[in-house]
Structure 1
Amino acid sequence: MKRSSEQILTEWLVINCQMGDVIAMQKLLKIWYPKLLRYAFRQIGDQQKSEDAVQNALETMSAKLNKLKDSAAFPKWIYQILHHKCVDIIRQNQRQKNIVNSYQEFVYSENEYLLNSKTEDNLCFDEMVNHLPTEIYQLVHLYYLEGLSVVEIQQVLDIPLGTVKSRLHHARKLIRNNLTGD
């Protein structure tokens, strides 16, 4: 798979962060914070709690970044950390509110979802996937927007590989139906 300039820049910044470059860390956060916040918000549905999840993930990232051996694995690694932080917050919310299905019952307004504005192509993509179920959206986001492989997604979400593949297939079918109006 061809690597984008952003992927190469991320790898370079990660290596520099591991060497203690504070400016590289600031640049890395500038690139990744909006992506992580958008992903967390989609999972949690609450802006403040999404920011908390991202903050927790970034704290873990800064503490353990030196242990990351392959800078190219950073996207998978950080999304895996964030996914676990989101799950922790969701479980905490469920205990506090005693609502079993709160994770899948949130609704997004277009303005909140587009909080960290994207390019026109990504806006069209967002319109196509905006109404997908959360577990399907996770896969589509990680696979198409972040370029993670199905194996990396399986590791991030901690679900069977066959489930990842079948959900991606189902997502493609749903998007195709949305495009054709079926």
Structure 2
Amino acid sequence: MSRLSERAFAEMVEAGCPACGGQKLNLRSYVDGLVPLMEGEPVGPVKWVYKGEMFVDGLYEITCGACQHLVFTDDRCPRCHAEGGLARGLTTTNAYAVPERCSRCEHIEVRYIAFVPMRVKYEGKRADRAQTSVELHDPGFHGYRVDCKDCGKIAERADACPICESPAPIRARFS
């Protein structure tokens, strides 16, 4: 669980900026994204595959869109909550192998699921679409699972935290 409960998050965004009273907030979170691959190369943009509670769980920064006041910050890893893990995650590259094909059926198309930092502009009850500037081989993109269209889930990382590399086991996560 994030340092913010879902209720605390809802209250915070409803209240807006405590410095200027602005209602436009910039939210940053680490969430699950799926990248379709063919022979190990991306063939489409990140598709967001997270649920609302996962957004709050991965939340690491809220700033005011008007005055840039820092409303909330958490420097722990958004996945395992290791102290200082956020900085490691945002500045390191992916340690989970990007497959060229399914290890079971040899199909060349797989879905690669990763934790990806994203940002959302929020105003009142309305949020813009999630955006990221991070791609497959960029720092901050951290894979943890591979799915095959034919076989289903074929591999998932369990040896360490995908974001900050803290040793396993890591805390349970919403399903």
TM-score (norm 2): 0.28
After TM superposition, the score normalised by the length of structure 1 is: 0.27
More strand by share: 2
Higher helix share: 1
